[in-house]
Amino acid sequence: MNPALLSRRSAMHGLGAGLALAVKAFGQSASPGLPLKNTGLEHFGLTVPDSEAAARFYGRIFDTQLFKEKDPPPRFYARIGISYLAFGQRADTPPFIDHFCALTDGYARGEARKAMEDVGITFGNGALGMATDPDGLRFQLLGVPGGLAGTIVPGPRISQEEPLFQAIGTDHLILHVSNLEASAAHYKKIFGPELPRTKKPDRVWFQLAHTRLGLEPAGPGEKPSIHHISVRVAGFDATSAVSKLKTAKVEVTASTAKTVMFKDLNGIEMEIQGNA
């Protein structure tokens, strides 16, 4: 082969490879959707043996007007201020918080999912495909302004009494994870830099608009989980909150001046705190 041609072809090949690398690098840094433009945590899915019973439990605590899916299977909803809890029913599995959702702004054509897939995040199947983290915990994206879907209708109002607390919305969500650094790296891709870590317990925090996501190492032998939701309530006072919960025969599991934790009818823990 003509040496001049060879060198020209090599040069072209080299140029092509360089160009490909540049495009790849651009593609990676260009993930235009990340960190995710989000407006905070919105709702949480709970899998429970009896979805109506679970909604009724939370209804008397946060909002006595329940909502439900118009068509079977029986799916109930309890609002917690601007956030809500969605109860799906399964008898064959221990109760757990099965997913959490944040609202995203400006990704109407699936750009957020694409951006996440571009950095190696995997999604489950189905129309509600959710991103899975290193422990398989599931995160859903919905568009702003969120709220109850059009397939949802008013369910029973369970009482004319005031609920125990005036819920404002989600303050934070805590995940118990098997490997703190792996999960931190995963959520950093989605939500951007961490906030300063906190100790006792060791927690990595991400700010999601007016809400936060916290990662904490699971204890020895503990299964990773979406561990608990913390709800902001108006006029929080720990002493009176504990007393109201006890009067309502709700099991209080921990309390400080700033937070009170209780167990729901299925043993899932929930936290309330002030609107600081």
Positions that interact with Fe ion (CB under 5 A) = 45, 101, 140
Nearer to Fe ion (CB atom), residue 130 or residue 233: 130
Q: Which is nearer to Fe ion, 41 or 270 (CB)?
A: 41
**If you count DSSP H runs as helices and E runs as strands, how many of each does the chain have, helices first?**
5, 17
Question: Measured between alpha carbons, how far is 198 from 205 in angstroms, rounded to an integer?
Answer: 8
Specify whether the CB–CB gap between 228 and 271 falls below 8 A: yes
CA distances from 135 to 47, 122, 241 (A): 18, 12, 34
Shortest distance (Å) from residue 71 CB to Fe ion: 17
Taking the complex as a whole, the smallest distance from the CB of residue 45 to Fe ion amounts, in Å, to: 5
For the CB of residue 42, give the shortest distance to Fe ion in the complex, in Å.
8
Cβ distance to Fe ion smaller for residue 90 or 188 = 90
Provide, rounded to whole angstroms, the least separation between the CB of residue 87 and Fe ion. 11
Please list the residues that pair with 233 across neighbouring strands: 167
Q: Retrieve residue 95's tokens.
A: 């109760």
Shortest distance, position 234 Cβ to Fe ion, whole Å: 25
Nearer of residues 46 and 231 to Fe ion, judged by Cβ: 46
Laid out side by side, the sheet with 131-132 consists of: 122-123, 131-132, 138-143, 96-104, 38-48, 83-89, 76-80, 65-69, 152-157
**Is the CB of 76 or the CB of 236 nearer to Fe ion?**
76
Q: How far is the CB of 99 from Fe ion (least distance, A)?
A: 6
224: which DSSP letter? P
Neighbours of 125 (CB within 10 A): 7
101 vs 261, beta carbon nearer Fe ion: 101
List of E strands, 133-240 = 138-143, 152-157, 167-177, 195-198, 203-208, 211-217, 225-233
DSSP state of 243: H
